Amino acid sequence: MFRSIGDKISKVKNTWSSGILNVFKSARIDENFWEELEETLISGDVSLELTDDLIEELKDQASRKNIKESSELLKVFSDLLVEKIKRIDGMGEELTSQQKPYVIILTGVNGSGKTTSAGKLALKYLDAGKKVIFAAADTYRAAAIEQLKIWGERTGVRVIAQKHGSDPASVVFDAISAAKSSDADVVIADTAGRLHSRHNLMEELSKIYRIAKKEAGESNVGVLLVLDAVMGQNGLRQVEEFNRILPLDGIILAKYDTTAKGGIILTVAEKLRVPVRYLGLGEQPQDLCGFDPESFIEALLERRAN
């Protein structure tokens, strides 16, 4: 697990976490050390508030434990990151339910990688022995329907679709009905990309959610926001606005293997209190990884200073 993640987040490691490790190679803990650490954290899109919080906690532990060398503080820093991430309920956990079908609604802005994430997510449930159905609820782009059908052919998953321009909520309704009649475990609904500022589109998403809850059950619907990691903190407003329209049960942080802003995962967890459930770490179907905080931080920092 450690080696697999480490290999796939090489860009993050080469640009951001290597900078953190270099800071911790400083001989002594002095004002320059704290300034360099602050600058490096912020450059990786760790929020100002979280950066201040991390540094204050590190200063406190360095004082209490009488730590004088910065290299000794790296383990403390690593443990602190894991502790903060693990405070958020649901981190790295798959969405699931004892009842069938469980409906997963994927949402996000255009280009975030929703359809690809839908295909990869289906494979994870298939590998767990679950029967899956796709709902092609992105009816605005004919290409999106075709793309999901390609994933259906690759995975052997049935795709419920209507013609281009149809009501996406009716597609989700049909998919849930098909799942009930075929005893499927999971329905994955791929929705259209939408800007959080477009009120009518956000209301349509709310309608999809209401239909899903009515047909599948109040507690049997999960919503995952697919967030492009390359956007860094520019994507945080998306999370806030989507979460305002309907409750987000988690985030798929896509394209994390291509970002230099590795700290965004810490900011999302600490500032928005929404669990990151999966990381997108490549183009291959198997490159959607469950997010395990300890393995992730270990891979990110490599504990090379120990």
What is the DSSP code string of the chain?
-HHHHHHHTHHHIIIIIHHHHHHTTSSS-SHHHHHHHHHHHHHTT--HHHHHHHHHHHHHHHHHTT--SHHHHHHHHHHHHHHHHHTSTTTTPPP--SSS-EEEEEE-STTS-HHHHHHHHHHHHHHTT--EEEEEE--S-HHHHHHHHHHHHHHT-EEE---TT--HHHHHHHHHHHHHHHT-SEEEEEEPP--TT-HHHHHHHHHHHHHHHHHH-TTSEEEEEEEEGGGGGGGHHHHHHHHHHS---EEEEETGGG-S-TTHHHHIIIII---EEEEE-SSSTT-EEE--HHHHHHHHHTTTT-
Torsion angle of C-alpha atoms 245, 124, 16, 48, degrees rounded to 10: 20
- Express each pLDDT in 155-186 by its tens digit: 999 999 999 889 999 999 999 999 999 999 99
- Specify the CATH number of the domain 102-248: 3.40.50.300
Query: For residues 249 and 223, is the Cβ–Cβ distance under 8 A?
Result: yes
> Is 8 a residue whose pLDDT tops 50?
yes
Nearest-5° angle of CA 5, CA 189, CA 206? 115
Regarding predicted confidence, which is higher, 271 or 97? 97
pLDDT of residue 177: 98
243 C-beta neighbours (distance < 10 Å), count: 18
State mean pLDDT over 85-111.
87
Structural domain boundaries in the chain: 102-248
Would you state the pLDDT for residue 199? Answer: 65
Q: What is the pLDDT averaged over residues 140-154? A: 91
- Lowest-pLDDT range, 39-43, 128-132, 194-198, 271-275? 194-198
User: How many whole angstroms separate alpha carbon 115 and alpha carbon 139?
Assistant: 12
* Whether pLDDT at 203 is above 60: yes
Is the pLDDT higher at 305 or at 170? 170
Task: Read off the pLDDT band of 197 (50, 70, 90).
Answer: low
pLDDT over threshold 50, residue 69: yes
In 3D space, the residue among 138, 140, 142, 149 whose CA is nearest the CA of residue 106 turns out to be: 138
Q: How confident is the model at residue 198 (pLDDT cuts 50, 70, 90)?
A: low
Q: For the whole model, what pTM was predicted?
A: 0.87
In order of 132, 253, 272, the CA distances from 249 in angstroms are 19, 13, 12
